[in-house]
Amino acid sequence: MNTESNWAESAWQKVIHKLERTSKSIGASFPNGSANGRYERSSPHDWVSGFWPGLLWLAYQETKNDRFKLLAVECERQISHTLWEFEHLHHDVGFMFGLSSINQYKLMQDEEAKRHALMAASLLAGRFNAAGKFIRAWPNWGGEDHSGWAIIDCLMNLPLLYWASKEIDDPRYRHIASLHADTVLREFLLADGSVHHIVSFDPETGERVGARAGQGYAADSAWARGAAWALYGFTLCYFYTGQASYMEAAKRVADYFLHHLPEDQVPYWDFKLPEFGTQVPRDSSAAAIAASGLLELAALLPVEEGAEYQRHAAAMLRSLYENYGAWDDEEEEGLLLHATGYFAQDIHVDAPLIYGDYYFVEALLKLKNTP
């Protein structure tokens, strides 16, 4: 039994108690960010749609409560229909189908769900721009030309491609994933270990045009959740390929992230703001994502080096549990308070976010179940 077991076990009891209640109100819908205690619901094609079924599958694996499974299966049915909504889809099919279809395939041996994930991998591979060696993030939402835009979050969608290559024993998807990851290493990662959110390229020639602020404060600032996606994403690229440069990048981003945390281990929404103070919102979702990535990273490193990252992850999770949880608040559907969705557009600022909840629970179970 590890030394974290006492508080982690109490945290898990709080989580499952709350999920038993919120699964009744949320049902098989697609929560996004919470406002006034209720999660706003999204469409099945929204980038967040996999997180609720992902959370239900985590709860099902621990409890074997069939209600969690049945709700997740209904979510998968709705998500699978989006495969025919081509113009609504985007690179985040990795989050969507990875958490919904691949879990359903693995846990229920559901061949149809496996087929959904393989089709999603083919759509993701189809977003690859061979001139610039990047995966295009989005359609031209809002009339803006996004044909040359790649974003840091996409590292977390690459596991869908690595998984598909393994599943059908064909390297094509893996090659695309690694070409994109190499572009991110070269064009997004800065010497200090921070990362850009968006880098745009000329879609015809592939030449770099420049960095953009995206959800960060500025093009050359350091959006905290972007750093968390990079830390976890590079770690997963290393897991699938064994390529040392991905591990080095994951450690560089992790060290930057950890060195810029305030005392309670939960970052402000951007690490390079002109001013910090009590009024600046935190992003608890960035802490949850980073903690889960750090636990993955720790498991891939030699024991002593890994133990240091594990210690940091545990400290972040404990602070989230003790200082950021809405455990006993019957009026709130979210688990973790004080996340920041999109500060500049005032979307879900200082609110629970479903992906913060998902990664908190994912990380907590990794920590709790470590022998």
To ligand GLY, the closest distance from the beta carbon of 116 in angstroms equals: 22
* Residue 76 interacts with ligand GLY (CB under 6 A): yes or no: no
Footprint on residues 80-139 left by ligand GLY (CB under 6 A): none
* Residue 225 interacts with ligand GLY (CB under 6 A): yes or no: yes
The one catalytic residue in 92, 270, 283, 357 is 92
Residue closer to ligand GLY (CB basis): 33 or 132: 33
* 349 DSSP β-pair partners: 340
Pairing assessment for the beta strands 347-351 and 339-342 based on DSSP bridges: antiparallel
* Residue 183 interacts with ligand GLY (CB under 6 A): yes or no: no
To ligand GLY, the closest distance from the beta carbon of 24 in angstroms equals: 27
To ligand GLY, the closest distance from the beta carbon of 341 in angstroms equals: 6
Angle between helices 172-187 and 158-168 (to 10 degrees): 160
- Cβ proximity of 153 and 135 under 8 Å: no
To ligand GLY, the closest distance from the beta carbon of 48 in angstroms equals: 8
To ligand GLY, the closest distance from the beta carbon of 228 in angstroms equals: 8
| C-alpha to C-alpha distance for 79 and 16, rounded to whole angstroms | 24
Q: Which of 32, 100, 215, 265 binds ligand GLY (CB under 6 A)?
A: 215
The alpha carbons of the chain give a radius of gyration, in whole angstroms, of 19
To ligand GLY, the closest distance from the beta carbon of 10 in angstroms equals: 29
* Residue 146 interacts with ligand GLY (CB under 6 A): yes or no: no
Q: How many residues does the chain have?
A: 371
The verdict on whether 192 is a catalytic residue reads no
3-state DSSP of 209-259: EEEECCCCCCCCCCEHHHHHHHHHHHHHHHHHHCCHHHHHHHHHHHHHHHH
Contacts of 56 (CB under 8 A, 6+ apart): 19, 23, 68, 69, 71, 72, 75
Count of Cβ atoms closer than 10 Å to residue 15 Cβ: 23
The verdict on whether 92 is a catalytic residue reads yes
CA angle 366/299/181 to nearest 5° reads: 100
Q: Which of 4, 76, 153, 187 binds ligand GLY (CB under 6 A)?
A: 153
* Residue 270 interacts with ligand GLY (CB under 6 A): yes or no: no
Residue closer to ligand GLY (CB basis): 203 or 233: 233
* Residue 357 interacts with ligand GLY (CB under 6 A): yes or no: no
Residue closer to ligand GLY (CB basis): 73 or 339: 339
Place of tokens 């981003």: 253
- Cβ proximity of 305 and 250 under 8 Å: no
CA angle 242/285/100 to nearest 5° reads: 65
Residue closer to ligand GLY (CB basis): 6 or 43: 43
Residue closer to ligand GLY (CB basis): 154 or 301: 154
The one catalytic residue in 46, 66, 110, 153 is 153
Look at phi and psi of residue 262 and say left if phi exceeds 0, alpha if psi is from -120 to 50, else beta.
beta
* Residue 348 interacts with ligand GLY (CB under 6 A): yes or no: no
* Residue 187 interacts with ligand GLY (CB under 6 A): yes or no: no
Residue closer to ligand GLY (CB basis): 225 or 312: 225
Token pair belonging to 315? 């400290």
As annotated, the active-site residues are 92, 153
Query: What residues make contact with ligand GLY under the rule CB under 6 A?
Result: 153, 215, 225
